Amino acid sequence: QNISRRDRKKETKPFKRKWLIQCFGISKQAFYKRLKSHKTKVENDQIIIQMIKDYRNEVGQRTGGIKLYDKLKPKMELLGIKMGRDKFYKLLRTYNLLVPRTKRYFITTNSKHQFYKYDNLVKDKAPTRSEQLWVSDITYIKTENKHCYLALVTDAYSKKIMGYKLASHMKTSLCTDALAMAIKNRKYPNEKLIHHSDRGIQYCNPAYTEIAEQNNITLSMTQQYDPYENAVAERINRTLKYEYGLKQTVKNVTLAKKIIKRAVSIYNNKRTHHSLKLNTPDFVHINQNVAYHSYKRNKEKLELLTF
């Protein structure tokens, strides 16, 4: 006996987009316009995300939203992509591209020694030009075998790293080598200059102070451990470590030196700063066209440094 069977595939009518359009009471033209707009937005988002990744790979993985928007906005406009700052931040948040907060690191200062400790000449003072005030500090870099130490000399006004040295020890020569590089890199050798640091044994050692004095550099030191007394140096330590991979454990000293060399070059020549009105340290060091920005909590007490 033949039993007829229903072919449900033949009975099922293909879904038609016009039914959906009629259901929501919109015109066919409006539907396709909205569909095209959504597709364009998705494509534009992917273009911007790739631009963000490329810029961070070149300049630093912890480049924040304001700097990214300032640098990428002209490129977006060239591509015909219109996006305001709020939408840009929303995109960063949606795709988990915001920069997380960082933690503090431990102190590398030993101020319990017999050497002479200099007075603080720059407390509540704001530099007005390049090479008026240098700040120095030491931070640590972890390698697979041991800790290494990085000494930095930075111009407080332009935030430019003038000299640096990485070594597997914290001897005075670590700091004297960084100072020697900074002196060699001076653009205004005839201008008066103050060198500010903590009261660590390396900076108080005559081997260090004599080099400074021989180059007509006046010494100044913090009176107690307060991050805001040497805030520029502390901040740059953190920037190098968290934005250029130096916070992570590096395989060896040789690789760490290569990373630091590249990081300093990018930091000085490509990385923009809020405190420099989104200019680079090297640009501001030469042009000297911005007012000094302090990291202190109470900025009203600041006086101009007239040295």
Contact 235, 243 (CB under 8 A): no
Confidence at 105, pLDDT banded by 50, 70, 90: very low
Weakest-pLDDT range from 9-23, 60-74, 113-127, 266-280: 9-23
Are residue 148 and residue 279 in the same domain, yes or no?
Answer: yes
Is it the case that residue 237 has pLDDT exceeding 90? no
Assess whether 33 and 86 both reside in one domain. Answer: yes
Report how far residue 254's alpha carbon sits from residue 144's, in angstroms, rounded to the nearest whole number.
12
Closest by CA position to 159, among listed 35, 27, 273, 38: 273
What percent of the chain stands above pLDDT 90? 40
Same domain, 28 and 160: no
Residue 114 lies in a domain: no
Cβ partners under 8 Å of residue 199, min gap 6: 109, 111, 117, 221, 222, 223
- Give the pLDDT mean for 236-264: 89
pTM: 0.68
Q: Is residue 64 part of a domain?
A: yes
Q: Residue 106: is its pLDDT beyond 90?
A: no
Same domain assignment for residues 168 and 39: no
What is the spatial distance between Cα 21 and Cα 285, in angstroms, rounded to a whole number?
A: 61
Residue 150 pLDDT exceeds 60: yes
**Which CATH number is 196's domain given?**
3.30.420.10
| Least confident residue range of 15-24, 211-220, 232-241 | 15-24
Q: What are phi and psi of 210, to 5 degrees?
A: -65, -40
Q: Return the ∠ at Cα 259 (arms to 100 and 134), rounded to 5°.
A: 80
Distance CA 254, CA 142 (A): 12
Q: What is the pLDDT of residue 265?
A: 95
Structure tokens at 245: 């991979």
What integer best gives the mean pLDDT of the chain? 83
**Could you tell me the pLDDT band of residue 119, with boundaries at 50, 70 and 90?**
very high
Domain boundary among 94, 114, 146: 94
For the ranges 25-29, 192-196, 206-210, 246-250, which has the lowest average pLDDT? 25-29
- Whether 204 contacts 229, CB under 8 Å: no
In a domain, 173, yes or no: yes
Range of the domain at 59: 19-94
- Does residue 156 lie within any of the structural domains? yes
Q: What is the pLDDT of residue 129?
A: 95
Shared-domain flag, residues 185 and 260: yes
Residue 139 and residue 256 in one domain: yes
What pLDDT, on a 0 to 100 scale, did the predictor assign at position 23?
64
Per the model's pLDDT, the better-predicted residue between 155 and 101 turns out to be 155
Q: Is residue 276 in a domain?
A: yes
Backbone angles phi, psi at 23, to 5 degrees: -60, -40
- Both 88 and 132 in a single domain? no
Residues 244 and 294 in one domain: yes
Whole-number pLDDT of residue 269:
96
Q: What number is the average pLDDT over the span 105-129?
A: 76
Other CB atoms closer than 10 Å to residue 90's CB: what's the count? 12
Report the number of distinct structural domains present in the chain: 2
| Of the residues 73, 94, 115, the one at which a domain ends | 94
Say if 14 falls within a structural domain: no
Domain presence at residue 179: yes
pLDDT tens-digit series, residues 35-57: 555 567 788 888 888 988 888 88
pLDDT tens per residue, range 152-209: 999 999 999 999 999 999 999 999 999 999 999 999 999 999 999 999 899 999 999 9
- Do 138 and 279 lie in a common domain? yes
Residues 142 and 271 in one domain: yes
**Residue 142 shares a structural domain with residue 226:** yes
Q: What is the pLDDT of residue 98?
A: 82
Q: What is the mean pLDDT of residues 80-104?
A: 80
Strand order in the sheet with 133-142: 161-167, 147-155, 133-142, 193-197, 217-221
Given a cut of 50, is residue 136 above it in pLDDT?
yes
Average pLDDT, integer, range 111-128: 84
- Indicate the burial class of 159 (C-beta count within 10 angstroms; 0-12, 13-18, 19 or more): buried
Q: State CA 24 to chain mean position distance.
A: 50
pLDDT at 301: 73
Between 161 and 229, whose confidence is greater?
Answer: 161
CA distance 143 to 140: 10
Cα separation of 248 and 264, whole Å? 17
109 in helix, strand or coil? coil
As a 3-state breakdown, the chain gives helix, strand, coil percent values, each rounded to 5, of: 45, 15, 40
User: Is 129 exposed, middle or buried, given 0-12, 13-18 or 19+ CB atoms closer than 10 A?
Assistant: middle
At position 10, the amino acid (one-letter code) is: K
Q: Please indicate, yes or no, if residue 55 is contained in any of the structural domains.
A: yes
Predicted confidence band of residue 34 (pLDDT cuts 50, 70, 90): low
Residue 206 and residue 57 in one domain: no
